[in-house]
Amino acid sequence: MEQALQNYERATQEAVTELRAIWKVEREKLAHERRDLEEVRTRLELETAEGRRALESDRVSFAAKKAGVGGMVVRPAERVLLNVGGKHFETTRRTLTAALTVAPDSLLGAMFNGRHKGRLQPNGEGRIFIDRNGAMFEYILDFLRGYSTGDKNAAFAIRALSETQMVVMRHELDYYGLESAVFPQAPFSMDLAAFSPGPKMLSKRRGLGAVVLPNNQGVLVVGGYSDGEFLASTELLNTETQTFSTGPSMESRRSYCGTVVLEDGQVVVVGGLNKTVLSTSEVLNPATNTWSLGPNLASCRYKCAALPLRNARIIVIGGAHGSSAKTSLSTTEIVDLASGASTPGPEMSCPRVSCSAVMLHDGRVLVIGGRNSTTKSLPTTEILDLTRGTSSPGPEMDIARRGASATLLQKDGGVLVIGGGCIDGTDLSTTEVLDVTKNTASAGPELGIPRSFCTSVKLPKDRILVIGGYSGSGRVSTSEILCMPTEEEHRFIHF
């Protein structure tokens, strides 16, 4: 008897494993089902609204009505008996599939949507066995029951678990694909986003470059200036472990170089300073993890900005070709990595050294701040149209900044300008949000410390990583991460 039970449980678990594989393939089908469910929900809301008008009392809410429907006699085909880790449960298919609209990766939704009825064989008692934590599943099932009736506090019991229990619960929610339903991410809002300490680099770096490598390979930090020397070293941030490790060294020492990553994963550094101003470039091959010389720029440049373009091309913007501020450049150039050719890009309205730049969603380039030939920090921005070869004014910042970092905000197309140095040389901890469409600037969240000549990159889930730079009296190895508060913190803020 015991052997038969073991065989049954093993067969059931194999069926569940097979279903997980099928479930991944059918995510697109589930998306269509989610749209159908939205239509059903809309119809229910309309029907409920009509029903309310017919009621003499307004005290019966929509959620209560749905709960009443859920409490009606369940058809035999809808009834589901489960054995989860030795604990027995009784529920309905409607409950188990309730969270599909917000959690399309829900394993329970895929198991009990009716499409795989023949694959899950119940035991002699009619129960389907799932080899997971039964104690945690009790909380999950109660959440799904509440969620199915529209209870906004359905996840309260899960969120109230102790820290130790929450670690176990997170594993279970991840397995069932329900974490996004229980802990929905708050919509990104710059008013709520805040900086918090991030991982520490192996070296202090000012005038560094950084790019996000494709395929979740991490963030590569290159070059910079530290402790009286120009750096050829690089560091690689593992975004999962939040730790830096040594990366492949460049052929030349470089600070204040332009740094980009191409569509094929190649990393390109251009120009920079190494006692002399450089016109050379280097390319990191992702297959061999080694650097090799790339094409030369038409002009020596450092403290320039660089952005990737299509077809293995990059645009290099502004900078200086000598140690004097009078040597700052208003020119741009487009470098073709395949042919090695450099052609002039749009001319800027004024020279800009220590400027930053971002590619807007429409393909135009926003160039931000910097310093001109009179050593004055600039509050102005300008927009380069690469198709027409023209420049036009962009939104003006509230504070003149040189050596600032800038990142495009994914949600609304705004641009976050981070730190930098102002006219009197003071390093800034402030940020600004530029709205190109409205031609406005507004205050953004405050950095933990002032930073100039830092760099920033976008991480998954609308996070922004700010690394290194100069703060007050020296270079720093620290970083900060801008992110939205957790769902619990978001609730506390609005309490």
pLDDT tens for each residue of 66-95: 444 444 444 556 889 999 999 999 999 889
Q: Report the pLDDT averaged over residues 192-217.
A: 94
| 355-383 confidence digits (pLDDT tens) | 999 999 999 999 999 998 776 789 999 99
- Is 382 within the bounds of a domain? yes
Name the residue with higher pLDDT: 302 or 15.
302
Residues 392 and 447 in one domain: yes
Q: What is the CATH number of the domain that holds 312?
A: 2.120.10.80
In this structure, the strands spanning 390-393 and 405-408 are: unpaired
Tell me, yes or no, whether 46 and 139 share the same domain: yes
State whether 214 and 323 are in the same domain: yes
Considering the domain architecture, whether residues 204 and 131 belong to the same structural domain is answered as no
Q: Is the pTM of this model over 0.85?
A: no
Residues 205 and 77 grouped into a single domain:
no
The phi-psi region of residue 413 (left if phi > 0; otherwise alpha if psi is between -120 and 50; otherwise beta) is left
What separation in angstroms does the CA of 343 have from each of 88, 272, 329, 331, 340?
A: 72, 19, 15, 11, 10
Location of structure tokens 């140690």: 323
Q: Which DSSP state fits 430?
A: -
Residue 187 placed within a domain: no
pLDDT for res 377: 86
If one counts every other C-beta atom within 10 angstroms of the C-beta of residue 308, the result is 17
Q: Which residue's entry shows tokens 């040389």?
A: 425
User: Of 182, 214, 240, which one is at a domain's C-terminal end?
Assistant: 182
Would you put residue 303 in left (φ > 0), alpha (ψ -120 to 50) or beta? left
How many independent structural domains does the chain possess? 2
What's the whole-number mean pLDDT along residues 117-132? 81
In the predicted structure, residue 480 carries a pLDDT above the cut 90: yes
C-alpha 430/C-alpha 444 separation (Å) is 7
Query: Of 153, 182, 211, which residue sits at a domain end?
Result: 182
| Domain identity same for 389 and 280 | yes
Alpha carbon 442 to chain centroid, angstroms: 22
The pLDDT > 70 percentage for the chain reads: 79
pLDDT at 461: 75
Three-state DSSP class for residue 213:
strand
C-beta separation of 455 from 212 below 8 A:
no
| pLDDT value at residue 471 | 95
Is residue 301 a contact partner of residue 255, using CB atoms and an 8 Å limit? no
Q: Which domain holds residue 102?
A: 2-182
Question: Are 201 and 115 part of one and the same domain?
Answer: no
| Amino acid identity for residue 3 in this structure | Q
User: What's the CATH number where 78 sits?
Assistant: 3.30.710.10
pLDDT tens digits, 330-345: 999 999 999 999 999 9
